[in-house]
Structure 1
Amino acid sequence: MNNERFQKQLEFIIEIDKLKQIYRQNLVIGTRRHENDAEHSWHLAMMAILLSEYAAEQNVDVLHVVKLVLIHDLVEIDAGDTFAYDEKGYEDKADREQKAAERIFNILPPDQAEELMKLWCEFEAMETPEAGFAASLDRFQPLLLNYNTGGHTWKKPGVVSEKVHKRIEPARTRAPQIWEYATDLIETAVAKGMLKP
């Protein structure tokens, strides 16, 4: 097919395959293997579909949430994954990710590049009900993995329960039942010695 739009879309599809090579700090449950960003994004998309009833906004647009969670980490192809508790890494995270978003999304035809950039910016801002719920899931998923892998990343230097509580905070208003469950898990993890108090 000799269609410039199609060629750009294919180029983007091939480019984002690199997400499978970006490894996160979390382990895949039941293994000693680190989760990659593509697996994380897929897991979040499934969580969005299955847990949408726990969004604070009862009419949250599930397809929109799925788009947000599938797109939000594509920038890590260039910017890399910044560990949630890496204060130094967060100093230039926004700049690295902005540059990455501009390069990666602009592989696409202009209308789709603009759509993905808007979705990425929406996720980052966490202002809409969908973005707030998506961000809540993005913070809840690693907590679930940590709890079910004996607190793997929680054992890294500087990670304490207060920081884990702070990380899940967006769920307090965007997904209160998930937030409540997460805070219970955190307290249980402390009691079991998986997480420092």
Structure 2
Amino acid sequence: MQEIIDFVLEIDRLKLVTRKTRVLNSDRYENSAEHSWQIALLATSLQPYAAEPVDINKVVAMLLVHDIGEIETGDTIVYAEGGWEERKAQELACVTRIFGLLPEAQGQRFLALWREFEDGQSAEARFAHAADRAMPVLLNLANNGQSWRENGIRHEQVVKRIGPPVRQGCPALWTYLETRLEHAREQGWLG
């Protein structure tokens, strides 16, 4: 029991990792724990639109563990250029340490889910990636492009970085986003 409690208290630190997108109707930026919770609900809601059948419990578990490495690395905006290999190596070291707090079988299960998400090869990982990439776009669309405008993000960057994983994991969601991204460009929210 103590190992599980130690783990749960350690991951509380994810609430301190600030992201680049604001919570709707607020000046406060969301944190990575809130992001994980929201994309888990997004994926659960979008399950009927997944490109292929998925085990939604596995998808949700992936989404709940996928950003735990940010406890030590912080959040990096998805549009950042370069340095991804180093960041992912640091995240792996972090999740290995944190999942190592759990009883061995549980820790290995969470680490396997984290790795599966990172590899992006299974139907569940592809669908999880679609939800993960789409949620900041949805928030930006609802916030008049807040994070895009603050960080000088261009329409082409969003389409290039977000389009492929969303299209692959949830094509109907990409169809929905494409039209709205064009509207965002027309509004001047994207460079």
TM surpasses 0.5: yes
Q: 1:180 aligns with which of 175, 183, 191?
A: 175
Which residue of the partner structure matches residue 67 of structure 1?
Answer: 61
Counterpart mapping for 1:138-153 below 5 A: 138-153=132-147
More helix, by proportion? 2
Which 10-residue stretch deviates more, 150-159 or 117-126? Answer: 150-159
Deviation string, structure 1 residues 115-171 (Cα, Å, up to 9, x no partner)? 011000000111100100000000000000111111111114552111101222212
Unpaired runs of 5+ residues, structure 1, are 1-5
Q: Is the 8 A contact 2:20 2:30 kept in 1?
A: yes
| Residue type at the aligned position of 2:38 | H
Q: Work out the CA distance in 2 between the residues paired with 1:61 and 1:91.
A: 29
Unpaired runs of 5+ residues, structure 2, are none
Which residue of the partner structure matches residue 3 of structure 1?
Answer: none
Counterpart mapping for 1:21-60 below 5 A: 21-57=16-52, 59-60=53-54
Counterpart mapping for 1:1-197 below 5 A: 6-57=1-52, 59-90=53-84, 92-168=86-162, 169-196=164-191
Deviation string, structure 1 residues 24-82 (Cα, Å, up to 9, x no partner)? 0001011111001111011011111111111011x311111110111101111112111
**Number of residue pairs aligned between Structure 1 and Structure 2:** 190
Q: Work out the CA distance in 1 between the residues paired with 2:26 and 2:161.
A: 24
| Residue type at the aligned position of 2:169 | R
TM-score, normalised by the number of residues in structure 1: 0.92
| Residue type at the aligned position of 2:40 | A
Following TM superposition, the consecutive aligned residue runs of length 4 or more in structure 1 with deviations greater than 4 angstroms are none
Q: Work out the CA distance in 2 between the residues paired with 1:120 and 1:157.
A: 28
1:173 deviates by 2.1
1:88 deviates by 4.3
1:84 deviates by 1.1
Q: Work out the CA distance in 2 between the residues paired with 1:56 and 1:149.
A: 28
3-state SS of the aligned residue for 2:8?
helix
Q: Is the 8 A contact 1:82 1:90 kept in 2?
A: no
Calculate the aligned-residue CA RMSD, in Å.
Answer: 1.2
TM-score, normalised by the number of residues in structure 2: 0.95
1:89 deviates by 4.7
